[in-house]
Amino acid sequence: MLFYNDYDAVQPAKRDTIYKLLSGLIKAGVPIHGVGIQGHWSVYEPTEKELRDAIEKYASLGLQIHVTELDVSIYPKEQRRDPRESDKAEFTPELEKLQMEKYTMIFKVFRDYKDTISSVTFWNVSDKHSWLDNFPVRGRKDFPLLFDQQLQPKKVYWEIVKF
């Protein structure tokens, strides 16, 4: 099966560009079966509307949807930045709450589209080691996954597995 996989695929401008590309491939007879939506998100994005709009737009093409590389950073999404005094690298109760709300929303949407989304793949297992550590700020730890640094389930894990 052939899938097109990309990041920022739920952001409106990029979503529309990807949709146009996929539509063109389908019209040209390319045997494409689905789209991968990379889930490198944060506690601040995407919105529920952006996620739903993207899923519906890609699904309108008759394509399967795979959510790939899922993680939810506790920091705003940034590509480059110098360290700031405010970079504490702490998983505070406030950040834990924001992450729980975001993951809960994401999985609610995924369940609403269970006939369209055929898989969800995480981009690692635990916060022990994450590609987001030191990115984009050297020396800063991130906590984007469902298991903590001791490989124990976080509270959010229990929220998204109950349904």
Interval 128-161: pLDDT, tens: 999 999 888 878 899 999 999 999 999 999 999 9
| Check whether domain 3-161 has CATH 3.20.20.80, yes or no | yes
Interval 75-105: pLDDT, tens: 888 765 665 656 667 899 999 999 999 999 9
Domain boundaries of the chain, sorted by first residue:
3-161
CA-nearest of 120, 148, 144, 149 to 131 is 144
**Confidence grade of residue 9 (pLDDT, cut at 50, 70, 90):** very high
Please list the helix, strand and coil fractions of the chain in percent, rounded to the nearest 5, in that order.
35, 20, 45
- Mean pLDDT (the chain) is 93
pTM equals 0.92
